[in-house]
Amino acid sequence: MHWALTFAERIIAERGEKKEYVCESGITPSGFCHIGHFREAITTSLVALALKDMGYNSRHIHIWDDYDRFRKVPSNVPSNYSDYIGLPDYKVPDPEGCHSSFADHFMEPFEESLSEAGMKPDFLRASDQYKKGIYRNNIKISLDKRGKLIEILNSQRGGEKLDSSWYPVSIYCPSCGKDLTKIKSFDGEYALDYSCKCGFEETVDIRKANYIKLKWRVDWPSRWAELGVDYEPYGKDHGTQGGSADTGQKVIQEIFNKPPIIGVTYEFVSLKGAAGKMSSSKGNVILPSDILSVMEPDVFRYLFVKTKPAKELKIALDLDFLNAYDEFDRVEATYFGDEEIDKRDKYDKLYEFSNIWGYNSLPAQPSFRFMSVLVQITSDIDRIIKILQKEGHVKNELSSLDIERIKTRAKLAANWVRLYAPEMIKFQLLDSPPDVELLSAQKEGLRMISDILMEEGDLTDVELHNKIYEITSKIQIEPKVLFGAIYQVLIGKDSGPKAAAFINALEKDFVVERFRSY
C-alpha cells in the first residue's frame, strides 16, 4: 500500500469518520520557499488526495504565516531592512518593489510552482485570520490558562524556564506597528495593559483589538483547534522530542480541549552533492521553480510520491538527473502495459498520484537522455520529432498530448544542458571541418562509414553501431580510436554521445561530406 494511503487510513481510524478531513501545510514567508517547503506541501496534498481516492472528502489548506514578525534580514536583502525588524512580514515592503509586501514577494512564486505541480490548496493568510478575529476566543482561553501554559512549556524546555511574567501573546503596537511591546498586566477579563518601546501605551480590550497575536508554540495548536485540522506534516526540526510539534499536541489537548492531530515528521530535501541544510534567510536554496525549469511536473511529483516522508530525499541535477526520467518512464510504461500485472498493481498509485497530465493510455516517451543530445543539434521541434520517429523513440501517429510532451521535454532538456549538465554531456556541432591530424586508419574508417550511410539507406542505431565495429575489425583499429575520430571531426572533442545514435540524428549528407573531407 502506498504511504499516503497508509496515513489516510490512520486519519480515518484515529479521527473517526467525518464529512470532510482537513490536511494542513504552512510556511512563514521569511525568504524564498525552497524544495524543502515543497515537500511539506506535497506531502499534505498527497494525503488529501489519498483520502479522496478512498472515497472521502478532504481539504488541503496551506497557511501563510505572514503575521509572524520580521526577525532578521536575509542575506539577499539590503542591510537597511533591519529597520523593519519587529513588523509583521506582510507589512514589510518588498525589497525589489514588484509585490505589495515582503511576504507576497516570496509567496507568489511558490504558489505558482505548486499550481504547476498539480496542487491547488486553499491558501489562507494568518494576517487575514487575525484581522478577522477568528482566534480571539483562543487568545482569551490562553490568557485565562496562562499558568497551565507556562507549566506545559517549561516541561518541554531544557534551558531557562518561563516565569510568571510571561504571556502567551504578542502585541503589534498600533503606533509604530512593531511587536516591541511589554505586557504589564491582564485583569482576568478582557483588558490587557501594555507599553511599547516607541513610547506608546494603552489598555486594550482583547475582544476588539485585531493586533494581538498568539506566540508560536500556542499559535500553532490554536490553529489546529480552530480550523479543525486532522493532519499536518512538519520538518524533523519541529518534530524532535520537546519540540514545537510535541508541545503543540499537549497544548491542543490541555488548553483547547481538542484531540491531538495526526502529526508526521518528514526528512529534509537536499541536492545531491550539496552540504548542509537549506535556509531561506541564508540564501543557499534551490526553488521548486528551479527544478520545474528542467523537469516535468509529473516527474518532479514522482520523486516525492515514491519516497516516504521519513526518508531523506536527495535530488540530483548532475548526470544522475537522467536516471530519474528513465525510472519514471519505466513506471509509466509498466502502468499502461499489458504484462507484469503484479508489478503494475505495485506501481498504480506511484503513477496515478504523479500523473497530472491526465494520460489514460501510454503517451509518447521521448528519451530525455537522447533529447539532451538532439537539442544541441537543432532547436527545430519538427526536425526533432522527425528524428525521434526515425529512430523509433516515438510512434509515427502522435496525438496533441504526445506533441505537447515532446515539446516540453525538448525545452526542459535544453534548459538542463545549459544550466546543470556536466561538461562531458555538452557539445557544439562544428560548422566546418576542424584542422585535426588523423591517422590513416581513422581516415579510412570515416570513409567506410560514409559509404555505408550512402549505400545501405537508413540503419537503426544498433545496426549502424555493429557496422562500425565491423569496420574496426577490417582495418585493424581499436574501436575507441575510430570513435575518437568521429567525435573530433563532428564536435572537436575526444568523446561524446553514443556514436551511432548521434550520426543517425544528423543530416546524412552533412555527415558524409564531413567524413569524406579527411
Q: What are the pLDDT digits (tens) for 173-209?
A: 999 999 999 999 999 999 999 999 999 999 999 999 9
Mean of the pLDDT values across residues 472-479? Answer: 94
Span 121-155, pLDDT tens digits: 999 999 999 999 999 999 999 999 999 999 999 99
Q: What is the pLDDT of residue 419?
A: 95
In the block, which residue shows the cell 521541434? 381
In the block, which residue shows the cell 507599553? 195
CB of 70 closer than 8 Å to CB of 92: yes
Whole-number Cα distances in Å, 36 to 227, 235, 266: 24, 9, 10
Mean of the pLDDT values across residues 275-292? Answer: 71
pLDDT at 279 > cutoff 70: no
Q: What is the pLDDT of residue 157?
A: 82
Question: Which of 134-148, 150-164, 342-356 has the lowest average pLDDT?
Answer: 342-356
391 vs 44, residue with greater confidence: 44
190: helix, strand or coil:
coil
Share of the chain above pLDDT 90, in %: 86
Cα(328)–Cα(499) distance, integer angstroms? 25
Consecutive H or E run containing 201: strand 201-205
pLDDT classification of 516: cutoffs 50, 70, 90: very high
Sheet holding 191-196, edge to edge: 181-186, 191-196, 201-205
pLDDT at 395 > cutoff 80: yes
What are the DSSP calls for 466-518, one per residue?
HHHHHHHHHTT--HHHHHHHHHHHHHSSS--S-HHHHHHHS-HHHHHHHHHT-
Of 252, 241, 243, the residue nearest 218 (C-alpha): 252
Question: Which of 101-115, 197-211, 263-277 has the lowest average pLDDT?
Answer: 263-277
Q: What is the pLDDT of residue 456?
A: 87
Tally: H helices and E strands in the chain? 20, 12
Cα(503)–Cα(512) distance, integer angstroms? 10
Mean of the pLDDT values across residues 76-90? Answer: 92
